Amino acid sequence: MRKGSGYVLVSDPDGGGRESDCFTCVHCQRIVEVPPKATAKSVGWCLRCDKPICRRCADDGNCKPWDRQMDAMERRDRLYQAIRG
């Protein structure tokens, strides 16, 4: 992975801190810090949607993009509303 899609500055209460590149997992919306010289394999990459994902989603092995999850929730909500009348 060449670089992240964002930049994060994490500061500690004692005055220390760290800076790094970051990206948002397209499956769970978690913000992931990209270590220096990271590869797509070390960070996590979805081969189906061809986007960076966090290690937890990579270990899951399913392609569940956030926008599809939200679409399914909205469809379910519309169905419940229609049933309730």
pLDDT tens per residue, range 9-64: 888 888 888 888 899 999 999 999 888 888 777 788 899 998 889 999 999 888 98
Question: Would you say residue 76 lies in a domain?
Answer: yes
Q: Could you tell me if 11 and 29 are in contact, meaning their C-beta atoms sit under 8 angstroms apart?
A: no
Question: Would you say residue 1 lies in a domain?
Answer: no
Question: Would you say residue 50 lies in a domain?
Answer: yes
Q: Give me the chain's average pLDDT, please.
A: 86
Q: Number of structural domains, the chain?
A: 1
Structural domain harbouring 62: 6-84
Q: Is 62 helix (H, G, I), strand (E, B) or coil?
A: coil
Question: Would you say residue 55 lies in a domain?
Answer: yes
Does residue 79 surpass a pLDDT of 80? Answer: yes
Question: Would you say residue 64 lies in a domain?
Answer: yes
Question: Would you say residue 57 lies in a domain?
Answer: yes
Question: Would you say residue 66 lies in a domain?
Answer: yes
Q: Could you tell me if 19 and 7 are in contact, meaning their C-beta atoms sit under 8 angstroms apart?
A: yes
Question: Would you say residue 18 lies in a domain?
Answer: yes
H helix runs in the chain, sequence order: 40-43, 55-60, 66-84
